[in-house]
Amino acid sequence: MFAHETKIISNIRITSDTFLIALRSPEIVSQAWPGQFVMLRVGAGIDPLLRRPFSICGVKDDLFFILYKVVGRGTAMMTGLKENDAMSVIGPLGKGFDLPEKDCRHVFVAGGIGIAPLIFLAQVVKDKDIRFLAGFASASEIITPDRVLDLDINVSIATDDGTQGHSGFVTELMKTETQEKSLKSVFACGPMVMLKKVTDLTNEAGIECQVSLESEMACGIGVCQGCAVRKLPAGKQPSYFHICKDGPVFPGQAIDWGSV
């Protein structure tokens, strides 16, 4: 883990409210693993006070990439960052995905901006036969790996409003995949409600899933207790994971979804 100033190489718009920022740090690149994240200081001074967590979306040479969606003040401030600006970064943090086994069938399931860590996983796995499913609210919000990192991967799209691809939720696309006998495991990132559904579907099919969880984070290193999520099996005394330190990637079967 490193804590240092990085240089912004580019910050480009991908859709109306998502941007891709490239940061130079040979140190972070040397340790980065899919599913891990960084804590960014998005303002020049101490405003906003808290750093913001973002998944590493991929690496190239000595650059790492963050794909971010504008949802509030911090991410809105990030859109104004320019080439050569400095950014303070702590990372890579957390525990990422366990690599899919070779020569087995795997499915990636992304919901919205949750595609970010799965793009990095696809970059590392380098398998053109990954079944990559991605769901977005509408056609205008679609982000695919080729638009971000030039990765040549076929993606099956679902949109909630039916403007492109399957009309409905991405988990509906997943149902046909889980019927395949050769399917070994599912890797997913997206809204909690989607991850719960992914876990339910993989439980029904008797296959593994690894899910990358998000929560608001103050420290990112297991100190503030702000990112706790309840573990299964539920005992008399509830026990908790810290998403920042024990995750953000967990077996879906280890999470008490009733508590999130």
Ligand X SMILES: Cc1cc2nc3c(=O)[nH]c(=O)nc-3n(C[C@H](O)[C@H](O)[C@H](O)COP(=O)(O)OP(=O)(O)OC[C@H]3O[C@@H](n4cnc5c(N)ncnc54)[C@H](O)[C@@H]3O)c2cc1C
| Site size for ligand X (CB under 6 A) | 20
Name the DSSP class of 226.
T
User: Which position has the token pair 């913001």?
Assistant: 52
Residue 158 to residue 177: CA distance in whole angstroms = 14
Question: Which residue type sits at 58?
Answer: G
Q: Rule CB under 6 A: is residue 227 a binding residue for ligand FES? A: yes
Identify which range of 14-22, 109-117, 193-201, 214-222 contacts ligand FES by CB under 6 A: 214-222
The two three-digit tokens of residue 181, written as one number: 């006998």
- Distance, in Å, from the CA atom of 100 to the CA atom of 98, rounded to the nearest integer, reads 6
State in angstroms the smallest separation of the CB of 80 from ligand X: 13
Report the residue number, 23 or 229, with the smaller CB distance to ligand FES: 229
The binder of 116, among ligand FES, ligand X, none, by C-beta within 5 to 8 A per type, is ligand X
Q: Which is nearer to ligand X, 54 or 241 (CB)?
A: 54
Interaction between residue 115 and ligand X (CB under 6 A): no
* Residue 120 · residue 129 · CB < 8 Å: no
CB-wise, 58 or 220, nearer to ligand FES? Answer: 220
Residues numbered 156 to 195 that lie near ligand FES (CB under 6 A) are none
Closest CA to 252 of 198, 214, 205, 206: 198
Q: What is the 3-state secondary structure (H, E, C) of 127-156?
A: CCCCEEEEEECCHHHCCCHHHHHCCCCCEE
Evaluate the omega torsion of the peptide bond into residue 117 and state whether it is cis, within 30 degrees of 0: no
> Three-state DSSP class for 29?
helix
Residue 113 contact, options ligand FES, ligand X, none, Cβ 5-8 Å cut-off depending on partner type: ligand X
CA distance 71 to 58: 22
Is residue 214 within the footprint of ligand X (CB under 6 A)?
yes
Which residue in 48, 191, 222, 251 binds ligand FES (CB under 6 A)? 222
**H or E element in which residue 3 lies:** strand 2-15
Report the residue from 22, 25, 37, 208 that binds ligand X according to the rule CB under 6 A.
37
CB of 260 to ligand FES, least distance (A): 14
Least separation, in Å, of the C-beta of 252 and ligand FES? Answer: 20
Using CB under 6 A as the binding rule, the residues of this chain from 52 to 81 that contact ligand X are 52-55, 67-69, 71-75
Instruction: Give the number of C-alpha atoms closer than 13 A to the C-alpha of residue 54, restricted to the C-beta side.
Output: 30
Is 104 a residue that touches ligand X (CB under 6 A)? Answer: no
Q: Which residues bind ligand FES (CB under 6 A)?
A: 217-220, 222-227, 242, 244
Q: Which residues bind ligand X (CB under 6 A)?
A: 37, 52-55, 67-69, 71-75, 113, 116, 214-217, 248
